[in-house]
Amino acid sequence: MGKDKDAIKPLATGDRTIPPEGARMIPIYIMGREYQVPETLTVMKAVEYAGYRYVRGCGCRGGICGACATFYRFVGDYKLKAGLACQTVVGPGMIIVQLPFFPANRPDYDLENIDEGALHEELRRLYPEVFKCVGCGTCTRTCPMDIDVMDYIALMKRGDLKGAAQKSFDCVMCGLCTSRCPAQISQFTAAMFVRRLCGKYLMPKAEHLAKRVEEVKSGRYEKMLKELTEMSEEDVKKLYVEREREPDMAEPGTWLPEDKEHL
Ligand code: SF4
Ligand code: SF4
Ligand code: FES
């Protein structure tokens, strides 16, 4: 890493980032190279400010998609930290590497053909490593969503699939937990499987949803969709702006639009 700070010029890329006036410049290290960036930026914006362009490792920019998993350390500190690049603000001496993909265990399964009475056995068959958790807690300490990952793995082991599904619900599939697990468990893909099992076999059926799916399949909305796709962009924008909207403070379930043609 370079030591001559005078030799390092900030690179303004003209991207989305407009640093606040007077923001202090701090050194960070991206893939081992030093850059000066405004201290107010998130890691994602700092990386762009430094001159990189995201091709992968960036999606929603809002902490939802999990595409921007990032590891970092501070110079002089042994602790490895993790976060989402779009949510984590840079700090002086931050050494950053992004991990936009991690090779997790993703076994094939057919959700339609699972023995309803043997869901836990199916989890054991597909994800035997789950049952080798050593309870170290590294996954929980790594999770940027503050999910108690170790606990949902413990619930899986005990056969409490509903509990595991509920506890893992906020997972954004960033894969950071999996990258650190000494037992090589792919926590987030196992949790996705368990949530799918719950949705399919353990939760009450959503009858209203089944009815709506039937209506969609019957072609009820084809005409409306055709009309929309044939409209000009301007007309679509106008339609969007002028659409009937539910009032902000409406009592839930009480509001219906005047035009009920498409309900
Ligand atoms: S549980 Fe794992 S994959 Fe999900 S958000 Fe937390 S660290 Fe990321
Ligand atoms: S990191 Fe792996 S072994 Fe450690 S508690 Fe989490 S799932 Fe278990
Ligand atoms: S870009 Fe989607 S969570 Fe960061």
Q: Compute the distance between CA of residue 146 and CA of residue 157 in angstroms, rounded to an integer.
A: 21
> In the chain, where are the structural domains located?
5-98, 111-202
pTM over 0.85: no
Q: In this structure, are residues 23 and 45 in contact, taking their beta carbons and an 8 Å threshold?
A: no
Is the CB of residue 182 below 6 angstroms from any atom belonging to ligand 2? yes
Ligand 3 — pocket residues by CB below 6 A? Answer: 58-61, 63-68, 84-86, 172
Q: Compute the distance between CA of residue 161 and CA of residue 130 in angstroms, rounded to an integer.
A: 13
- Cα–Cα distances (Å) from 61 to 39, 101, 175, in that order, read 18, 16, 17
Is the CB of residue 155 below 6 angstroms from any atom belonging to ligand 2? no
Average pLDDT over residues 122-149: 98
Residue type, 190: A
Residue 232 Cα to ligand 2 middle (Å): 53
**CATH architecture of the domain formed by 5-98:** Roll (3.10)
Q: In this structure, are residues 173 and 188 in contact, taking their beta carbons and an 8 Å threshold?
A: yes
Give percent of the chain above pLDDT 70: 93
The pLDDT of residue 201: 96
Evaluate whether the domain defined by 111-202 bears CATH number 1.10.1060.10: yes
Q: In this structure, are residues 151 and 157 in contact, taking their beta carbons and an 8 Å threshold?
A: no
pLDDT, tens only, 136-160 = 999 999 999 999 999 999 999 999 9
Q: Phi first, then psi: what are they for 28, rounded to 5°?
A: -130, 165
User: Is it the case that residue 17 has pLDDT exceeding 90?
Assistant: no
Q: What is the mean pLDDT of the chain?
A: 91
Q: Compute the distance between CA of residue 59 and CA of residue 98 in angstroms, rounded to an integer.
A: 13
Atom 8, ligand 2: residue with shortest CA distance: 133
